[in-house]
Structure 1
């Protein structure tokens, strides 16, 4: 597995065009791999996340195979000064142990499935409120191999830092995604299950920038 970080240049027209549609960005990410390397494997699948601040636009990719982002550098980066950074993900995955605490960041598509009548297929609807989105994650952490320890006033140490609804065209239809970006602190409960969470993703819409959970050292308080 590999972890890749690439900074986009938001001043370029091609970058703005790409960022306007998760469908286009998905296509650009998948072009970083030959066709044989785009499908999920037992080790993991291609996951990506876009982190945007007023000062930086960063693309993170986790993948079973090493990507080649030459096309993105030429069209949306700084070709004369910088490329991308890819590092082995295995050393981090191998060091995970029960009881460890990590700071984390996750952009996900929190949804619920609703069946209006017995003869109609279920349909996914996005959770819209902060409470609904937080409860969605907390209700899944056990099966994802970790827990959220308490913070101030014994509340779970997780915050919804960003919320968005994205609408974009895909094959003649309009897709609507509800996005929530979570930040907080987690405690590893089952290292094997947690490794799979990190390499296979969380929730739905993984092809559109959702599901990639990344870790950082917990800062001393």
Structure 2
């Protein structure tokens, strides 16, 4: 597995075009590989996420079984003469993760649930739009994903529901087309920042390489870690 980071030159028209649509960026990401990667037996797949730390500091993070070549992105949306991208060996890091470890994390996800207005209708996916439901979406998945979000000490809680080391930010409703003739695709994305403890190292490794939730082709599901 590989972890790659690429910085966009947001002053360039090409960067703004690529960042304008998850569909365009998905195509650019998949063009980084000579052959289209297929999910492995362990669930490993291509995952990506855009972090907008500021208007001028926008990064693409990419986790992939194969090593990518982002030359085309550098030429269109980066610094062709002075900048590039960094790819790191992710497998060694994953192998060192252990139950009980604590980490800071960031995850951009598509929090959805299934609804049905009556028994005669099929269920359909609907986005969670409230902060409470978006928070609960993650908390309900943490056990199967091999981690738990850390709880705050009582003296640091600002409200009855402020129990966890978890911040929800960068909530977006995206709308884009896959082609000029297609219907618009609407997507709600949320970025979670917080602290976690690993409860099942094997399950957690699967989460990091296979993603969490839906809309993985459009920049959702990738969780990255940093020292807590």
Q: Scaled by the length of structure 2, what TM-score is found?
A: 0.92
Q: Where does residue 37 of structure 2 map in the other structure? A: 38
Could you say what secondary structure the match of 1:173 adopts?
coil
Q: Where does residue 29 of structure 1 map in the other structure? A: 29
C-alpha RMSD of the superposition: 1.2
CA distance in 2, matches of 1:126, 1:139: 15
Q: Where does residue 52 of structure 2 map in the other structure? A: 52
Q: Where does residue 123 of structure 1 map in the other structure? A: 124
Does the alignment pair 1:165 with 2:173? Answer: yes
Deviation at 1:119, TM superposition (A): 4.2
Deviation at 1:193, TM superposition (A): 0.4
Q: Where do 5+ consecutive residues of structure 1 fail to align? A: none
Matches within 5 A, 1:177-192: 177-192=187-202
CA distance in 2, matches of 1:117, 1:79: 56
CA distance in 2, matches of 1:196, 1:86: 20
CA distance in 2, matches of 1:93, 1:14: 34
CA distance in 1, matches of 2:206, 2:118: 35
Q: Where does residue 108 of structure 2 map in the other structure? A: 107
CA distance in 1, matches of 2:192, 2:5: 19
CA distance in 1, matches of 2:188, 2:23: 15
Q: Where does residue 160 of structure 2 map in the other structure? A: none
Q: Scaled by the length of structure 1, what TM-score is found?
A: 0.95
CA distance in 2, matches of 1:89, 1:59: 16
User: What is the total number of aligned residue pairs between the two structures?
Assistant: 217
Deviation track 1:150-171 (CA, whole Å, cap 9, x = no partner) reads 1142611111022110000124
4+ residue stretches of structure 1 with deviation over 6 A? none
CA distance in 2, matches of 1:152, 1:160: 19
